[in-house]
Every structure is written in C-alpha cells, then in structure tokens.
C-alpha cells in the first residue's frame, strides 16, 4: 500500500484543468457518437429507475433537489450500481456528473428528448 501511495502521477496542465472542470481530458478516446450513446443509456436507466419508485419517494426526492443541488447518497448508489450493471464497468468522474445531471432533469420533468439534446462536458 505504501508503494502505491508514494507513486507520483504526472499530469499536464490542460488535462488537470479539464479534470477539475469535470471534463474528460483531451484524447480520452470517446467520440461524440459514443457520448450520445452513453447519454441515451443513462436516460433509459434513470427513467426506468424513476418509473419504479413509489410516488411518496418521488416527492421526497423532488423536495430534496429543490433544497439542495446534491443528490441523496442512497439514490446515487442505486443509480451507479444500475449503470455499472448495464455498462459492465464503473463510470468515470465526468460520466458520474452526466448521470447526476440526467437524474436532476428526469426528476424536474424534462422530456427524454430534451435531455438527449443537452450539451455534454465529456469531450472527445
């Protein structure tokens, strides 16, 4: 463990700036088509989860998102688990940000078509 903790990782300035802004560093390998496909999958997974939730929990989540920009930890865990199962991999930090924004849009009632057309922070 100590050997891993002592390892230094070199990151160029532009990549660090992109990561701090929640963007995928340049050269991440995701094309615009791949990002749109990922967004479509996220909308599908989040919408399916939302449709399964009882109305009282939906209201609680709407209220929580009106008070705070953050997503309750249990909801975040559920959605991250569903996305991991769907994609057979964990989401990157920018992808997690996109998933959380998708959840906010679904909860506030934006149509899936509107969510799909929104710009993404993940860049090729």
Domain boundaries, the chain: 34-117
Mean pLDDT throughout 110-119? 57
- Residue 52's nearest CA partner among 75, 84, 73, 69 is 75
User: CA-to-CA distance for 119 and 1, rounded, in angstroms?
Assistant: 40
Q: From the centroid of its chain, how far is CA 72?
A: 14
Query: Is it the case that residue 2 has pLDDT exceeding 80?
Result: no
Most confident of 4-13, 23-32, 70-79: 70-79
Mean pLDDT throughout 9-15? 69
Query: Could you tell me the two tokens for 16?
Result: 């660090």
Q: Torsions phi, psi of 82, nearest 5?
A: -65, -40
Mean pLDDT throughout 1-24? 66
Query: Is it the case that residue 124 has pLDDT exceeding 50?
Result: no
């Amino acid at each position: 463990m100590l050997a891993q903790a002592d390892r230094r990782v070199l990151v160029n300035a532009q990549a660090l700036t992109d990561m701090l802004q929640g963007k995928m560093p340049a050269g991440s390998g995701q094309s615009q088509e791949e990002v749109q496909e990922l967004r479509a999958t996220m909308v599908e997974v989040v919408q399916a989860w939302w449709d399964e939730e009882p109305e009282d929990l939906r209201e609680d989540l709407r209220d929580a998102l009106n008070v705070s920009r953050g997503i309750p930890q249990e909801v975040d865990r559920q959605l991250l688990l569903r996305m991991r199962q769907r994609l057979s991999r964990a989401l990157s930090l920018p992808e997690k940000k996109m998933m959380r924004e998708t959840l906010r849009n679904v909860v506030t009632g934006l149509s899936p078509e509107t969510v799909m057309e929104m710009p993404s922070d993940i860049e090729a």
